Amino acid sequence: MGKSRVIVPCNQDRGHMFSDASRPVKSENRNVTLAIGVVGAATLLSRIFGYIRDMVLASFFGAGMTADAFIAAFRIPNLLRRLFGEGSLSLAFVPVFTDAIAKGDRRDALRLAVSSLKLLLICLSVIAIAGVLAAPVIIHAVAPGFADPPEKMALTVLLTRIMFPYVILIGLLALCMGILNVLGHFAAPALAPVLLNFAMIGAVFCVSRFSDSETVRVVGLAVGVLLGGVLQLALQVPYLVKHGVRFWQRSGLWHPRMKTVGLLMLPAIFGAAVYQINILVGTLLASLLPEGSVSYLYYADRLVQFPLGIFGQAAATAVLPSLSRQAARGDLAGIGETFGHSMSLVLFLTIPAMIGLIILREPIVALLFQRGAFDNQATRLTSDALLYYAYGLWAFAAVRIVVSTFYAMQDTRTPVISAAFSIAVNILLGMALMGSMLHCGLALATALSSIVNLALLVYVLRKKLGAIRWRLIFSSCLKTLAASGLMALGVEITSRFLIPPEIETGSLRLVVGISAGIIGGIAVFSVAAWKMKIPEWQKVMVLMRRSLSRS
């Protein structure tokens, strides 16, 4: 699907790859597992506060016009964050920055980091100014269904203009995250979203004390997004300084290695953000459906993002520096081993999460969101969307590992071609399914297009890295599916006895039933994984024992 810049190992034939690279590979796999633990724990905390934030938003704004306007406006800076920040910039910058450090010139690498931050600040400022000025055109393009009533379009444009400068803050944060991850620090970047959630929750409650108007409250919420961006970026500064990044020292806006970063970044803009682009396509099409459709998809997506962030994003964040170090050494076999280790671990964690989310979807939506303006119908329609999103959870997570592997090898062309095809599939499926399935058809289209994207990427990667032990990955995946099937049976039985048929928000029985279902499901899955001797189970247990012994 495209030529790559894979560096073939020197002085070793393929028959000796695994034996020659076994020691550094084991070390990298330990680093990846430990980093996943750190990032996953921090992400878990941020997701918990994220759900508290969404509970507050659902309570104050429900799933009506105001909520639709804020969600559509907030999607735009979030998409740009994925395109220019966490997506293309991080994936393009980390391999180049890692290569500079691996070649022994740390001072030059830190100059690259400072120059990149300064140049990025200028570029994102221009983008933010253009976005503020062009907000009406942007909203008409991404949410054409908001034109009627005019008040909805006007509110969405206003919120977009307020939040567009968030692109500057979150883009700089993404670059800081890449720098710190390569330097071995993962906690501060992973904890940053907690501050955003605090700012948004605080803004809603503060403004609500002075006004009962939904419009005034949602404007305050948009200002809270900007404040959250400032707090997130400020958290990274002490750790950057501690690791030798000196912002105040003189350095030009250009560094010779930036050319390589730019060449990797241009195609990466689309290749790294397929999921977010597909979500934006869903928002555009949902704006043509009955009022509330955008909100149902948003709240369902937020629930999918919980396990996806903890497992998928954490693994992708942790594995990229290790893969980049192996690529810098020309260790093709090591890349294959680290990829296989990460992929098996991600599937081991996301498959049971997917099944549990499908079974408990409606009670979870009711527990988290059903209060205030978010009624029974909103709960049912959101849980319907969640069902179809959840089908693709494993693919959403696995794609991030595969894309990180391509970018570590500085192959940007393959993810771009696959992404373009996936986006086209999503648009066609969305248009075909939304007529009969409404917003649920859009959720299903997103899941199916991600599975197509994963299949294409794995097909190409299999040709590039024949050293990957695919049979071990498939064997672990089949065992995980079997263990998850037993877990599903246990959760289904538990939920039927303990969760009331007529769900009442705030009901103690609902809380007990969901808690019992989750705890019981984890217990059944753990026993099944132990009895089946799934390798990833043993790795997780080793990590937990080490964490407990250290604490």
Instruction: Give the tens place of pLDDT for each residue, 80-100.
Output: 766 665 556 777 788 888 888
Quick one: pLDDT at residue 505? Answer: 54
- Which is more confidently placed, 415 or 41? 415
Distance of CA 32 to the CA centre of its chain: 17
Quick one: pLDDT at residue 545? Answer: 67
Instruction: Specify the 3-state DSSP secondary structure of 382.
Output: helix
Query: 339 falls in which pLDDT band (50, 70, 90)?
Result: confident
Output the furthest CA–CA distance in the chain (Å, rounded): 72
Instruction: Specify the 3-state DSSP secondary structure of 352.
Output: helix
pLDDT at residue 245 above 50? yes
What number is the average pLDDT over the span 456-483? 86
d(CA 426, CA 522): 33
pLDDT at residue 524 above 70? yes
Considering only CA atoms, which of 2, 21, 15 is closest in space to residue 332? Answer: 21
Query: How many degrees, rounded to 5, is the angle at CA 317 between CA 223 and CA 117?
Result: 55
- Inter-residue contact 59 to 214 (CB < 8 Å): no
What number is the average pLDDT over the span 512-539? 88
d(CA 196, CA 81): 14
Quick one: pLDDT at residue 7? Answer: 39
Q: Is residue 263 domain-resident? A: yes
What number is the average pLDDT over the span 493-521? 79
Q: Is residue 124 domain-resident? A: yes
Q: Is residue 252 domain-resident? A: yes
DSSP symbol at 8: P
Instruction: Specify the 3-state DSSP secondary structure of 317.
Output: helix
Query: 354 falls in which pLDDT band (50, 70, 90)?
Result: very high
Query: How many degrees, rounded to 5, is the angle at CA 210 between CA 162 and CA 132?
Result: 5
Measured over the CA atoms of residue 445, residue 277, residue 283 and residue 300, the dihedral's sign is: positive
Quick one: pLDDT at residue 223? Answer: 95
Q: Is residue 445 domain-resident? A: no
Instruction: Specify the 3-state DSSP secondary structure of 227.
Output: helix
Q: Is residue 371 domain-resident? A: no
Quick one: pLDDT at residue 191? Answer: 87
Quick one: pLDDT at residue 84? Answer: 61
Q: Is residue 507 domain-resident? A: no
Query: 268 falls in which pLDDT band (50, 70, 90)?
Result: low
C-alpha dihedral over 324, 325, 326, 330, to 10 degrees? 100
What number is the average pLDDT over the span 405-434? 87
What number is the average pLDDT over the span 359-387? 87
Average pLDDT, the chain: 82
Low-confidence winner among 113-127, 137-151, 349-363, 445-459 (lowest mean pLDDT): 137-151
Quick one: pLDDT at residue 239? Answer: 93
Quick one: pLDDT at residue 431? Answer: 92
d(CA 517, CA 495): 6
Instruction: Specify the 3-state DSSP secondary structure of 375.
Output: coil
d(CA 380, CA 537): 35
Burial of 134 (0-12, 13-18, 19+ CB in 10 A): middle
Q: Is residue 115 domain-resident? A: yes
Query: 165 falls in which pLDDT band (50, 70, 90)?
Result: very high
Q: Is residue 338 domain-resident? A: no
Quick one: pLDDT at residue 53? Answer: 87
Quick one: pLDDT at residue 387? Answer: 95
Domain range for 234 is 62-269
Number of H helices, E strands in the chain: 22, 0
pLDDT at residue 507 above 80? no
- Which is more confidently placed, 352 or 102? 352
What number is the average pLDDT over the span 266-290? 71
Quick one: pLDDT at residue 232? Answer: 94
What is the total count of domains within the chain?
Answer: 1
What number is the average pLDDT over the span 150-170? 92
pTM of the full structure: 0.71
Query: 12 falls in which pLDDT band (50, 70, 90)?
Result: very low
Helix segments in 287-313, DSSP class H: 293-307
Quick one: pLDDT at residue 308? Answer: 84
Contacts of residue 12, Cβ cutoff 8 Å, sequence gap at least 6: 20, 333
DSSP symbol at 63: T
Quick one: pLDDT at residue 2? Answer: 43
- Inter-residue contact 157 to 301 (CB < 8 Å): no
